[in-house]
Chain A
């Protein structure tokens, strides 16, 4: 077994670690349920928004890859596909949120709506049955695309020459449908936590964040896999450079979209919009906001600007870990102040609940990763055509 371990990545071990994190997290959440069930669900929602971003980010990056091509997408294609196939699990993970909507969403509490004219007007959209129906609809649409893309690349690997054209035809409209459904999904799951507040760029901020999390995950996986066949022979510094450049672009886009939202609301200074930022820019939440500017934008931006950082797998993987950590921080900063707007509050469950979800997700992701060979046959074919092999 030990001689085996040198040539094969020890995926079982990663799976065990994931399941271990899930087990520990679950025990902590159950313990938390006894004393503070509301906090469990609040922390669970942050973890859920982080977790759901991985299959969704993978789906959109896959579609972009099928549209524009490029080696960066080819080397991570199987990782992204395995990640999209976790969608059924992630759909199931939403069930606890749907079961505790009155705990999380003010508009789902009849006694609050009875006192609030605005919520009464919004009830035509923000009501429990429609919310559940929409969530089912989003997952059905995403599931269709996940199924189609995975099936077609399997056909492509089997030698179907027409698959490439069909992947293209699906991915074009797919990107449009994806943008619309994700926008509505995050309006439901995250923005409606503060049902009076609205921002039209909110969906973009989430989508960019999802792409950033996904690229970071891919970099970490590739850095781990590159010591073993088949990735050993496929991956070079230039692949990491390309992915690093994409991370840089998405880091800038995240800053651009997040700052645009802030600038517009700050300039308008309207009573229905500005409280969202007043809560998040003062006290402890304000410290987190400054931390986001430094660690979600300035530091990754400077590190990713330098070419030698992007060409080294180990260094890029370290930056990716930083990015994943600040993604979690960003989501915490967006979600948690809704529940304690006037004072800063961080609970140990804010770590435990996301750990539960991410742990289970990783175990399931690795299981999916084992299902198909890491190297797409298509990549082999292209490399042979270009005279690289």
Chain B
């Protein structure tokens, strides 16, 4: 920031640093109560209760996985019917062509396969990955988010955001508050 100002530096948001996850949850809860909505928290490991404190909507991933599993189930059963009755009909032990019990193992497998692929692909898509650039990495200390520090970033896109007042708010919870360049 002390470099020669070429143009007005756009601001991504304001970031606060915490020593442990309980402080982070507390600050996130306070920020939500103060009316901030566009914000995100960063921690080295999953923290229970953080999503709730941030006021994040429940993830859509479970509904997606259910849908994926359902399609895999229907698809697998249809595939077996098509193979056994249309594409390659074969008399096995005098059983009828439509021998549904024999189709169940494949149906089960395609259900699990499609559900798990949906889970992984859906997770990546809903997280907006791959993401080659993210402004939070402009903060030098943010490297420690994957080691031993916890961060809360209130983004400038939030309607309530005001550089000075947001900094003041975060300073009540953390001794380390820095501006994030876009």
Residue A122 CB within 8 A of the other chain: no
Complex: chain B residue closest to A307, CB-CB: B62
Contact A263 B102 (CB under 8 A): yes
Residue B86 CB within 8 A of the other chain: no
A266 to B102, CA, bound (A): 9
CB-contact partner of B101 in A263, A305, A307, under 8 A: A263
Known: A305-B66, A307-B62. A263 touches B105 (CB 8 A): yes
B54-105 residues with Cβ-Cβ distance < 8 A to A are 62, 66, 93, 95, 101-102, 104-105
Contact B104 A259 (CB under 8 A): yes
Residues from chain A with Cβ under 8 Å of B62 in the complex: 307
Residues from chain A with Cβ under 8 Å of B104 in the complex: 259, 263
Contact A267 B66 (CB under 8 A): no
Contact A262 B101 (CB under 8 A): yes
Contact A266 B101 (CB under 8 A): yes
Residue A269 CB within 8 A of the other chain: yes
Residues from chain B with Cβ under 8 Å of A267 in the complex: 93, 101-102
**Cβ of A353 to closest chain B Cβ, rounded Å:** 34
A259 to B102, CA, bound (A): 11
Residues from chain B with Cβ under 8 Å of A307 in the complex: 62
**Cβ of B167 to closest chain A Cβ, rounded Å:** 32
A307 to B105, CA, bound (A): 26
**Cβ of A267 to closest chain B Cβ, rounded Å:** 7
A269 to B95, CA, bound (A): 10
A267 to B105, CA, bound (A): 13
**Cβ of A262 to closest chain B Cβ, rounded Å:** 7
**Cβ of B116 to closest chain A Cβ, rounded Å:** 15
A263 to B106, CA, bound (A): 13
List residues of B whose CB falls within 8 A of some A CB.
62, 66, 93, 95, 101-102, 104-105
Subset of 14 A-B contacts with CB under 8 Å: A259-B104, A262-B101, A263-B101, A263-B102, A263-B104, A263-B105, A266-B101, A267-B93, A267-B101, A267-B102, A269-B93, A269-B95, A305-B66, A307-B62
